[in-house]
Every structure is written in structure tokens, then in C-alpha cells.
Structure 1
Amino acid sequence: MLLYNKALDVNHTFLRMTALLIHWNAEAVERDALRLFDFLIANPAHIQKLSVPRDRFVEKKEFKNYSNRYQSFDAMSLFNAMKEIHLIAIGRFIEIGILQLGENTSKYHVVLENIPDDLKVLAESTENSISSKAIYFIVKNLTSISLTGPDGLKKITNLMDYKYDAN
């Protein structure tokens, strides 16, 4: 049986990241935060598994119904498998000028004006197979959280090692 996983499709990754950047509307983004958020958009069921106190992000429970018994996988393994795809997509953003390297090689300045019109229309479309609900949840709740630290994105997603990060 042949299964398609949009998380491993570089074109879909590029589209998801574009939609996220448009809605996030940040001046700068960290590479690892962009990767973590893209994983959550591609796999919205993982949002309900965020490791946060019970009363925080109550709406994360709504993502439980995104579970699909045909796509059972180890989340960290899939996230690691997505790394090269993420780097290709980020490289393309740099080529186009949507992301520009800052003084820190893991942080990018975002230039939304450089998004081609056709791509912008597709990324903002309601019929593009991207969970806008996941994007809104991320922008509302997660974009303000530090990547590192005891309550950082790496820890609450359980997708990246965080024990030796310096704050």
C-alpha cells in the first residue's frame, strides 16, 4: 500500500511555511521554531500532546480528532526525517528573499513583500489542505514562547533535545 505523507513533501512544506509566515507576521523567526511549527501544522493531532499544564491551552483538546489510525508514527522520528525537507524549503525562502539571514545563522529576518502573489493567494486559500485551525492556534499561543528553557517550545513539543540548551 502506498501512503502519501504531506509532511515529507517539500512543496507542501513550502506552502505550509508560507501560510504560517503570512499569519504569524513576525519581523524575525528562528529556524527551529519554524521547523517545530511546521511539524504541528502538518500533524495537527500532535498539538493535543503538547506537554503543558492542564489549564493552559484548553483548546488543544480540539486537535485530538485530527488523529488518523493510518498515520501512526513516532513523532520525533518523523520530525527528524523532515529536517532535510525543512532545510530545502528554508533555502528556497532565502533564494526568493522571503527570509534573510541575520547576524545569528539560526535566525532570519522575514520580508513578506517578497512572497510571489500566486503563492500568497494559494497559501491564504481555504482550500489548500493546510489546517488553518492549527496555524491560528500556533500564532495565538505558541509564537510568544521561547524556543529554549524549562517551558520552551523544544520541551513542550518533545520533538527536540532541550536539556543542554543555554538560555
Structure 2
Amino acid sequence: MLVYHSAFDMYHSVYRMIQLLNNLKRDYVELERLRIWDYYLAFPNEMTKIKFQKEANDIKKLFPDKPNPYELVLDGKIIFEKMRPYQMTALKTLASHGLIDKAYLSENRITKIKTTLSDEVIGKFEELSERESNIIKIMTTYFHNMPLYGEGGLKERTNLLEYRYDA
């Protein structure tokens, strides 16, 4: 049986990375944080499983309680790790085309998309759906300000990566 999902499509991974990096508010983002963002952009129903802070309950209300039965993820950690090669290939492709800085990528940091190229590339994309747009806004603002490591960090709240041994 053939099953397709955009999470395991290298070209769609490039598309998602461009969308996320084009909306960055700062100059760079950590690789692990970007991978987590990409996971939630590929699987928006999984947003309901995040442990939000109490003051962020309005964000949780943006996502329906009744998930789409065709988008159920049984084990998010396994799917997240299966996405890794596609995500890394997408980032290396962006670096090889000069859209992000190769030196930062080797340090596990990803830079913003260079503006001169992004206008040309982004202009060819279809407009984002409201759901995708909301996810990107939440990820690049609320989750960008949240610490990545340790208790209460993004890794713990999403339960996609191990956080207990963070320095």
C-alpha cells in the first residue's frame, strides 16, 4: 500500500522551512526549535497535545478538540525522528542555494531567509491557509520566546525531544 504524507516529502519540507524562516522575528533560530515548529506545521492537530502555560489558553482554543481521523499520530516522537532526514536535507538544500547561512547551520543555528531571494521565491507560493498562518505566527512568536531546554521549555512541553539531560 502506498501512503503519502507531506511530512516525508523533501520538497514540501523545503516549502515549510521557507515559510517558517521567512516569518522569523530574530536573526536565527536553534535547529531543534525549528524542527519542532516544522513538525507542528506538518501535523497541526498535534498542537492540542502541547502543554501550554496557563496564560496561553487562548492559543489552545484556536485548534479544534475533534481531530481529523486521517491525521492521527500514534507516537509523535517516532514520527518526529522519522522526519529528521527530510528536515535536514531541506535545510542543507536551502544552505546550498544561499538562502540560509552554511556556517550557522554547522553550529545548529538557522538564519532568516535572505530577503532578496525570499521575495522572488515566496511570490511563487500559494497563499497560506488560515490554519497554517496561525501555526506559523504562534511558533515564531510565542514559542520563539519560550526557553528550549530544561523543565518548562519547549522540548518538555511538546514531549518530542528528551529534555531531562539538558545542560
TM (norm. structure 1) is 0.85
The corresponding residue for 1:161 is: 162
Q: CA deviation at 1:110?
A: 2.9
Separation (CA, whole Å) in 1 of partners of 2:137 and 2:66: 15
Q: Bigger CA drift: 114-123 or 36-45? A: 114-123
Q: CA deviation at 1:89?
A: 0.5
How large is the Cα RMSD of the aligned pairs?
2.4
Q: CA deviation at 1:143?
A: 1.0
Separation (CA, whole Å) in 2 of partners of 1:72 and 1:111: 32
The corresponding residue for 1:58 is: 58
Identity of aligned residues (%): 26
Question: 1:126-145, aligned counterparts within 5 Å?
Answer: 126=127, 131-145=132-146
Separation (CA, whole Å) in 2 of partners of 1:48 and 1:142: 14
Cα–Cα, structure 1 residues 70 and 129, in superposed 2: closer, same or farther, change >3 Å?
same
* Preserved contact between residue 27 and residue 109 of structure 1 (Cα < 8 Å): yes
Q: Bigger CA drift: 148-157 or 110-119? A: 110-119
Separation (CA, whole Å) in 2 of partners of 1:41 and 1:15: 11
Q: CA deviation at 1:127?
A: 5.1
The corresponding residue for 1:42 is: 42
Alpha-carbon deviations, 1:19-71, whole Å to 9, x = none? 11111242111111110001111111111211133442422232235722122
The corresponding residue for 1:29 is: 29
Unpaired runs of at least 5, structure 1: none
The corresponding residue for 1:152 is: 153
Separation (CA, whole Å) in 2 of partners of 1:155 and 1:122: 37
Q: CA deviation at 1:12?
A: 0.9
* Preserved contact between residue 148 and residue 155 of structure 2 (Cα < 8 Å): yes
* Preserved contact between residue 45 and residue 63 of structure 1 (Cα < 8 Å): yes
Letter in 2 for 1:63: F
Q: Bigger CA drift: 150-159 or 23-32? A: 23-32
Unpaired runs of at least 5, structure 2: none
Aligned length: 165
Separation (CA, whole Å) in 2 of partners of 1:134 and 1:4: 22
SS at match of 2:160: coil
Letter in 2 for 1:164: Y
Residue of 122, 125, 129 corresponding to 1:120: 122
Q: CA deviation at 1:108?
A: 3.0
Separation (CA, whole Å) in 2 of partners of 1:114 and 1:93: 14
The corresponding residue for 2:87 is: 86
Is 2:108 the counterpart of 1:106?
A: yes
Structure 1 outlier segments of 4+, above 6 Å:
none
Question: 1:61-76, aligned counterparts within 5 Å?
Answer: 61-64=61-64, 67-73=67-73, 74-76=75-77
* Preserved contact between residue 6 and residue 13 of structure 2 (Cα < 8 Å): yes
SS at match of 1:64: coil
TM (norm. structure 2) is 0.85
* Preserved contact between residue 44 and residue 66 of structure 1 (Cα < 8 Å): no
